[in-house]
Amino acid sequence: MPAPFDLSDDSVVVIIGTGAGGGVLANELAQKGIGVVALEAGGRYLPEDYVNDEWESFGQLAWLDPRTTSGDWRVAKDFSGLPAWIVKAVGGTTTHWAGASLRFQPHEWKAATTYGALEGANLLDWPIDDKELAPWYARAEEKMKVTRTGGRAGLPGSNNYKVFETGAKALGYEEVHTGRMAINSDWYDDRPPCQQTGFCFQGCKWGAKWSTAYTDIPAGEATGNLEVREKAHVLRIEHGPDGKANGVVYAAEDGTEHKQMARIVCVAGNSIESPRLLLNSASSIYPEGMANSSGQVGRNYMRHLTGSVYGIFDKPVKMWRGTTMAGVVQDEARHDPSRGFVGGFELETLSLGLPFMAAFLDPGAWGREFTTALDSYENMAGMWIVGEDMPQESNRVTLSDTKDQFGMPVANVHYSDHQNDRAMRDYAYKVGMAMYDAVGATRTLPTPPYPSTHNLGTNRMSANPQDGVVNKWGQTHDIANLFVSDGSQFTTGAAENPTLTIVALAIRQADHIAGAMSKNEV
Amino acid sequence: MTTTTAPRGLTRRQLLSRATAAGAFVCGAGFVAGRDAAWATEMTAMTPESFATLVQMARDIYPHDRIPDANYVTAVKGYDTPEEADATEAGIAALDRRATDLKGSRYLDIGWERDRAEVLRSMADDAFFEKIRAGLVTGLYNQKAVWPIFGYEGESYSQGGYIDRGFDDIAWL
């Protein structure tokens, strides 16, 4: 029973976005009896709506509003209007994500201290640490029913995993398993165990994978305290003469503009849209955009190192069968500068269907070298490299000259690799190829990064207000009732897939906001 | 688009008598057919000669020996429209000029793929080449009809996924 709140109701918390950050925060606040209006730019799609077809699903779920790109990353050349593969729908990118749910390693909260000064890297320690986040991680894992945590079983290994595991063990790796996955390994919360269907990226038709679209959001709505407004595309945040946020202006599906008043505003539109929104909310009081006295809004954009390795064998693998990302090697995630770079990386199983493999294996390539690789599609195994990339001030989201359908400047995403990123990727390609060679690969393919799914860092958390945009609660340093609730809070990226940490931070933030509201601090 | 298993008005023998060196037959009178008579398509706006060249160009960009011509025809048939035809004809004319400069004959009459690929490589930065190449990425590989040729099985939810259908059936490790 969605709770209808009046536009003039200034007692509500307005949350912009309903993905891992916004969707969880909305439910957690609603469970505590707090009125929440969640504004979602996309429509609502549920398991019965998802399609096992890569391009059709992409058209259904992906954020396809215009964006622009710059920098030396190859994505800017090959996919100049598509810097990121993320979702515009209720549930956000939790519909698309693969489910990998790894905690940060303790040292990764202290990247500046651990890695030391690195020229060109804008490293900073998080204002929170492993001990602080541990109980929130435990709550996130329980919420998401993460495998290999809380006594839950792991997922079974697919063909793609078995090739991956055989290669990893041949190289002497020890931390090799089918992952800690937010994909049910048994019946939990009336959701079935994984049916090994593939198409994890296209929305799980079984609902076995955790997504806010069919977990937290309906749970929040059932309390009567949460109203989700779909196809409500936020244009700007507004403030009163006191500088505090007082509401959010959005365009409804019919194009009409509305302003929802608010006691608190939480931004959770991901690391591209969240800084864009703060920058597009510039005013006479905040000429550089809201919460931007540090000048850090939009800066330090991170996307994880990424890259893939595919191996071709003389016999079939059929990598598309089964859970896409249920396989990980963690041995290389450690910090060990003797490898020629700081930080580390995870290796995770990956598969693309034939249509996306053609688009992403080597974008722009053609001729026999390319087509003979695809001819062996059935005999391919695949893995993804997820490594910590360095925050750089010049890698940033800015406002483009291009305007969207509402006349608002779109985001330009600028990214260039740091030398550390290149060194780590080259090393990771070598070990990935060696893994497949050890299983008898006849050909290996070091594949360039895809449009980003891990978008991080553009409103980063800092102890000192001059170094970042939000404090350790995700509360903006400048405006007490304006919070950031998504991956843009990340001070540094760590080597792990970010969703678990986003969810843990959102649960923790809900506790903090509820406490601050009850004490009338905001 | 229209593909039929046998071109109208011509016998297989007549088709064979009109064979050209590579790829498709131009059957005159507004349609074009494959060497093996496995496909034929009526022309809407392009000349049959230019369309046959375009089909060969598509195969040379993404050559898969096990994919029949009919799928390449499907992939590029969208250029045979009043909106696209002029630009496409101009692109094909430029391709033939380059082929003549480099290899001494029009593109379709170059016998070896290696030599046609050399012509294409010399034009790889041109907007026309890139438009055709980029269009093929979805135009060719997103045809469900070609997926089985690669072993790709497509949709699996309606069959219950692979939990009982071989997600872990690898036997050669």
DSSP codes joined into one string, A53-107: -HHHHHHHHB--S--EEESSSTHHHHSTT-SB--B-BTTGGGTT---B--PPPGG
For residue A154, give the amino acid letter: G
| Residues A358, A467 within the same domain | no
Mean per-residue pLDDT, A133-162: 98
Alpha-carbon A209 to chain mean position: 15
| Lowest mean pLDDT across A41-55, B31-45, B140-154 | B31-45
**Confidence tier at B22 by pLDDT (50, 70, 90):** very low
For chain A, give the percent of residues with pLDDT over 70. Answer: 100
- Reported as a single tens digit per residue, the pLDDT across B77-96 is 999 999 999 999 999 999 99
**Contact residues on chain A for B141, CB-CB shorter than 8 A:** 354-355, 358-359, 374
**Confidence tier at B34 by pLDDT (50, 70, 90):** confident
Q: What is the pLDDT of residue A1?
A: 53
- Residue B54 CA to residue A273 CA, distance in Å, equals 41
| Residues A78, A224 within the same domain | yes
For residue A90, give the amino acid letter: V
CB contact under 8 Å between B166 and A194, yes or no, is no
**Residue from A356, A318, A341 nearest A447 by CA:** A356
A113 occurs within a structural domain: no
| Residues A321, A396 within the same domain | no
Beta-carbon-side half-sphere exposure of residue B29 (alpha carbons within 13 Å): 8
Q: What string of DSSP letters covers B119-159?
A: HHHTTTTSHHHHHHHHHHHHHTTT-GGGHHHHT-----GGG
Per-domain boundaries in chain B: 12-144
CB contact under 8 Å between B133 and A366, yes or no, is yes
Q: What is the CATH number of the domain that holds A250?
A: 3.50.50.60
- Reported as a single tens digit per residue, the pLDDT across A479-518 is 999 999 999 999 999 999 999 999 999 999 999 999 999 9
- Kindly report the average pLDDT of chain B as a whole number: 86
Q: Between B12 and A191, name the one with better pLDDT.
A: A191
CA distances from B167 to A150, A185, A384 (A): 26, 15, 19
| Residues A236, A364 within the same domain | no
| Residues A405, A258 within the same domain | yes
A150 occurs within a structural domain: no
Residue B98: count of CB within 10 angstroms of its CB: 17
CB contact under 8 Å between A197 and B168, yes or no, is no
| Residues A405, A494 within the same domain | yes
- Asked if A365 is an interface residue toward chain B (Cβ–Cβ < 8 A), one would say no
- Residue B76 CA to residue A357 CA, distance in Å, equals 20
A118 occurs within a structural domain: no
A107 occurs within a structural domain: no
Q: Between B6 and A55, name the one with better pLDDT.
A: A55
- Residue A158 CA to residue A200 CA, distance in Å, equals 14
**Contact residues on chain B for A80, CB-CB shorter than 8 A:** none
CB contact under 8 Å between B156 and A198, yes or no, is yes
**Residue from A478, A341, A330, A476 nearest A422 by CA:** A341
- Contact residues, chain B to chain A, C-beta under 8 Å: 60-64, 66, 117, 120, 133, 137-138, 140-142, 147, 150-158, 160-163, 165-170, 172-173
- Reported as a single tens digit per residue, the pLDDT across A170-204 is 999 999 999 999 999 999 999 999 999 999 999 99
- Reported as a single tens digit per residue, the pLDDT across A374-413 is 999 999 999 999 999 999 999 999 999 999 999 999 999 9
Number of domains forming the structure of chain A: 2
Does B33 score more than 80 pLDDT? no
| Residues A141, A287 within the same domain | yes
| Lowest mean pLDDT across A34-38, A111-115, A157-161, B3-7 | B3-7
| Residues A82, A169 within the same domain | no
A164 occurs within a structural domain: yes
Q: Between A71 and B8, name the one with better pLDDT.
A: A71
Mean per-residue pLDDT, B9-33: 50
What domain range is A362 assigned to?
157-210+306-387+417-448
Q: What is the pLDDT of residue B41?
A: 84
**Confidence tier at B20 by pLDDT (50, 70, 90):** very low
A522 occurs within a structural domain: yes
Q: What is the pLDDT of residue B24?
A: 61
Mean per-residue pLDDT, A53-68: 96
**Residue from A236, A304, A293 nearest A470 by CA:** A293
Which of B71, B156, B159 to probe by mutation at the A interface, max A CB count within 10 Å?
Answer: B156
- DSSP-derived secondary structure letter, A453: S
Q: What is the pLDDT of residue B14?
A: 40
For residue B114, give the amino acid letter: R
**Contact residues on chain B for A196, CB-CB shorter than 8 A:** 161-163, 167-168
Q: What is the pLDDT of residue B30?
A: 67
| Residues A295, A444 within the same domain | no
CB contact under 8 Å between A375 and B150, yes or no, is yes
Question: A218 vs chain B: nearest CA distance in angstroms?
Answer: 24
Under 8 Å between Cβ of A513 and A483: yes
Could you tell me which residues come within 8 angstroms of residue A486 by beta carbon, excluding any fewer than 6 positions away? A17, A19, A20, A21, A22, A267, A268, A269, A270, A271, A274, A502
Instruction: Give me the helices (H) in B21-166, please.
Output: 48-61, 69-76, 85-103, 113-121, 127-139, 147-150
Does B2 score more than 70 pLDDT? no
For chain A, give the percent of residues with pLDDT over 90. Answer: 99
A443 occurs within a structural domain: yes
Residue from the list A162, A198, A353 with its beta carbon closest to the beta carbon of B170: A162
**Contact residues on chain A for B61, CB-CB shorter than 8 A:** 366-367
Q: What is the pLDDT of residue B9?
A: 40
- Reported as a single tens digit per residue, the pLDDT across A411-446 is 999 999 999 999 999 999 999 999 999 999 999 999
Nearest CA in chain B to A379: B151
| Residues A201, A333 within the same domain | yes
| Lowest mean pLDDT across A76-85, A125-134, A473-482 | A76-85
Q: Between A2 and A319, name the one with better pLDDT.
A: A319
Q: What is the pLDDT of residue B32?
A: 77
Does B72 score more than 70 pLDDT? yes
Nearest CA in chain A to B59: A367
| Residues A499, A409 within the same domain | yes
CB contact under 8 Å between A371 and B141, yes or no, is no
**Contact residues on chain A for B140, CB-CB shorter than 8 A:** 358
Mean per-residue pLDDT, B149-172: 98
A39 occurs within a structural domain: yes
CB contact under 8 Å between A321 and B156, yes or no, is yes
- Asked if A163 is an interface residue toward chain B (Cβ–Cβ < 8 A), one would say yes
For residue B49, give the amino acid letter: E
| Residues A175, A195 within the same domain | yes
- Kindly report the average pLDDT of chain A as a whole number: 97
- Reported as a single tens digit per residue, the pLDDT across A283-328 is 999 999 999 999 999 999 999 999 999 999 999 999 999 999 999 9
ipTM of this complex: 0.95
Residue from the list A195, A322, A371 with its beta carbon closest to the beta carbon of B62: A371
